[in-house]
């Protein structure tokens, strides 16, 4: 790690390297220099992100814009926006002899939002950060960015992959997940509603983060104020519904007791905190059609996530990192319980949203 760090134009000498975070995709390391400067070293997962040049080009465009926007607001871009450190050989990616690819960011201190799920103020700040991100990148035409993961939030395509996984049944797991399969099939028509609205122009395409899990927002541990969004690899053409929806899916869910399977339900107080923050910073760029369909975005992202977990389980757990044999199945079951609870509470979700229109 010391040798790889030296391949970048980092300042100082390395004094300590330790693994950082528990991400599903990349391997990350926090690098501390003798002079106190800190960096985040990442080994890029090239199985997931196969077009590394496209991903890097997008990152440069997006971070340059975010740094300019932060400076216009009087913020210190080094403390509120991810910045990539150039490789000494040129560009921003270093390749090892074994083919592994690495990159280095300036480390931004902070904690992931949602670590204290009862802190509604922190969730509100996370909603603000996601809305502010959408506002900041609204100047960047969606078609100017390359697609880093094909079909990432193409829910009809995810459904198509799921049906193929059932047909192939490569690991003989279909018979044990018939209730989950039935749950998806009963809701198959609703999976294409947002995609159709985007294709028909009833919803606008936007430059979006596309992976707004609530822990991808950094907050200040002392003040609880938002710092920035991280994990920008999936920033590309998308929809505001995807970003709002994934924030609700990940930040407004609570564990429900008394079920045989892991189960999640929607906490309306958390939903309101995230919604209020998001609308405060994004409302002025959203169309009426987008605002009206935000709750649908939350349901869709939950269903899509559950479908991806179940598909991965049927295909032998190739995509998501697992720590137990049935973990992807359990993840899927939890998402489907959350989607079901959203269906029950949809009138309440609409009522809360109208307060912030």
Note whether residue 35 is domain-resident. yes
Tokens of 242: 């995807």
Note whether residue 115 is domain-resident. no
Choosing from 90, 109, 128, the residue where a domain stops is 109
| CATH number of the domain residue 61 falls in | 3.30.200.20
Q: What is the mean pLDDT of residues 326-334?
A: 95
Q: What is the mean pLDDT of residues 107-120?
A: 85
Q: What is the mean pLDDT of residues 73-93?
A: 93
Total residues found in the chain within this entry: 357
pLDDT of residue 205: 98
The mean predicted confidence, pLDDT, of the chain is: 94
Share of the chain above pLDDT 70, in %: 98
Q: Do residues 132 and 40 both lie within one domain?
A: no
Q: List, as one string, the DSSP characters of 30-79.
A: EEEETTS-EEEEEE--TTT---HHHHHHHHHHHHHHHHHHHHHTT--HHH
C-alpha span between 66 and 132 (Å, rounded): 10
Choosing from 46, 79, 109, the residue where a domain stops is 109
DSSP 116: S
Per-residue confidence band for 94, with pLDDT thresholds at 50, 70 and 90: very high
Question: Dihedral of the CA atoms 197, 146, 25, 121 (nearest 10)?
Answer: -60
Q: Do residues 208 and 277 both lie within one domain?
A: yes
Q: Do residues 88 and 190 both lie within one domain?
A: no
pLDDT of residue 34: 92
pLDDT of residue 91: 96
Per-residue confidence band for 223, with pLDDT thresholds at 50, 70 and 90: confident
φ/ψ region of 316 (left if φ > 0, alpha if ψ in -120 to 50, else beta) reads: left
Q: Do residues 143 and 174 both lie within one domain?
A: yes
Q: What is the mean pLDDT of residues 259-286?
A: 92
pLDDT of residue 23: 62
pLDDT of residue 22: 61
Q: What is the mean pLDDT of residues 25-32?
A: 89
3-state helix, strand, coil in the chain (%, to 5): 50, 15, 35
C-alpha span between 73 and 242 (Å, rounded): 26
Q: What pLDDT digit, counting tens, does each position of 162-190 carry? A: 999 999 999 999 999 999 999 999 999 99
φ/ψ region of 99 (left if φ > 0, alpha if ψ in -120 to 50, else beta) reads: left
Residues 265 and 253: beta-carbon distance below 8 Å: yes
Per-residue confidence band for 47, with pLDDT thresholds at 50, 70 and 90: confident
Q: What pLDDT digit, counting tens, does each position of 231-268 carry? A: 999 999 999 999 999 999 999 999 887 676 777 899 99
CA atoms within 13 A of residue 334's CA, in its CB half-sphere: 17
| pLDDT above 70 (res 139) | yes
| pLDDT above 70 (res 24) | no
Q: List, as one string, the DSSP characters of 190-255.
A: GGGHHHHHHHTTSS--EEE-S---GGGEEE-TTT--EEEE---TT-EEE-HHHHHHHHHHHHSEEE
pLDDT of residue 116: 77
Note whether residue 114 is domain-resident. no
Q: Do residues 190 and 219 both lie within one domain?
A: yes
Choosing from 77, 109, 141, the residue where a domain stops is 109
Q: Do residues 185 and 104 both lie within one domain?
A: no
Q: Do residues 339 and 206 both lie within one domain?
A: yes
Note whether residue 333 is domain-resident. yes
| CATH number of the domain residue 191 falls in | 3.90.1200.10
CA atoms within 13 A of residue 36's CA, in its CB half-sphere: 0
C-alpha span between 144 and 9 (Å, rounded): 28
Note whether residue 193 is domain-resident. yes
Q: What is the mean pLDDT of residues 82-101?
A: 95
Residues 226 and 122: beta-carbon distance below 8 Å: no
Note whether residue 327 is domain-resident. yes
Per-residue confidence band for 339, with pLDDT thresholds at 50, 70 and 90: very high
pLDDT of residue 188: 97
Tokens of 285: 């760029």
Q: Do residues 214 and 162 both lie within one domain?
A: yes
Per-residue confidence band for 98, with pLDDT thresholds at 50, 70 and 90: very high
Range picked from 71-75, 193-197, 315-319 for highest mean pLDDT = 193-197
Task: Residue 72: give the domain boundaries.
Answer: 2-109
Q: List, as one string, the DSSP characters of 257-295.
A: SS-SS--EEE-HHHHHHHHHHHHHHHGGG--HHHHHHHH
Note whether residue 33 is domain-resident. yes
Note whether residue 22 is domain-resident. yes
> pTM of the predicted model, to two decimals?
0.93
Q: Do residues 241 and 293 both lie within one domain?
A: yes
Mapping DSSP onto H, E and C, the string for 8-43 reads ECCCCCEEEEEECCCCCCCEEEEEEECCCCEEEEEE
Total of domains in the chain: 2
Q: Do residues 202 and 281 both lie within one domain?
A: yes
Directed axis angle between helix 240-251 and helix 120-136, to 10°?
Answer: 160
Q: Do residues 153 and 289 both lie within one domain?
A: yes
Phi, then psi, of 103 in degrees rounded to 5: -145, 165
Q: Do residues 130 and 81 both lie within one domain?
A: no
pLDDT of residue 71: 95
Better-scored residue on pLDDT, 292 or 261:
292
């Amino acid at each position: 790690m010391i040798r790889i760090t030296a391949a970048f134009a980092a300042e100082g000498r390395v004094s300590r390297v330790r693994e950082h975070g528990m991400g599903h995709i990349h391997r990350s390391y926090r690098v501390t220099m003798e002079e106190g400067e800190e960096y985040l070293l990442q080994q890029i997962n090239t199985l997931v992100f196969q077009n590394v040049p496209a991903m890097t080009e997008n990152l440069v465009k997006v971070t340059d814009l975010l740094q300019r926007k932060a400076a216009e607001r009087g913020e210190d871009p080094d403390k509120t926006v991810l910045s990539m450190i150039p490789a000494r050989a040129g560009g921003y990616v270093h390749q090892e002899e074994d083919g592994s690819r690495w990159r280095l960011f300036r480390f931004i201190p902070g904690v992931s939002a949602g670590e204290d799920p009862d802190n509604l103020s922190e969730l509100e700040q996370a909603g603000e950060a996601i809305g502010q991100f959408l506002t900041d990148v609204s100047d960047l035409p969606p078609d100017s960015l390359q697609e880093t993961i094909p079909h990432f939030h193409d829910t009809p395509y995810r459904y198509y992959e799921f049906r193929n996984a059932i047909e192939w049944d490569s690991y003989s797991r279909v018979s044990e997940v018939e209730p989950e399969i039935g749950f998806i099939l009963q809701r198959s028509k609703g999976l294409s509603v947002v995609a159709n609205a985007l294709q028909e122009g009833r919803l606008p395409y936007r430059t979006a983060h596309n992976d707004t899990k609530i822990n991808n927002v950094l907050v200040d541990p002392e003040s609880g104020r938002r710092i920035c969004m991280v994990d920008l690899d999936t920033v590309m053409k998308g929809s505001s519904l995807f970003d709002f929806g994934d924030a609700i899916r990940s930040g407004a869910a609570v564990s429900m007791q008394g079920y045989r399977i892991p189960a999640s339900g929607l906490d309306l107080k958390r939903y309101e905190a995230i919604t209020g923050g998001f609308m405060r910073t994004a409302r002025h760029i959203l169309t009426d059609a987008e605002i009206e369909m935000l709750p649908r975005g939350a349901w869709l992202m939950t269903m899509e996530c559950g479908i991806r977990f179940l598909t991965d389980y049927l295909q032998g757990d190739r995509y998501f990192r697992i720590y137990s044999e049935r973990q992807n199945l359990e993840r899927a079951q939890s998402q489907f319980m959350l989607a079901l609870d959203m269906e029950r509470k949809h009138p309440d979700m609409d009522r809360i949203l109208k307060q912030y229109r």
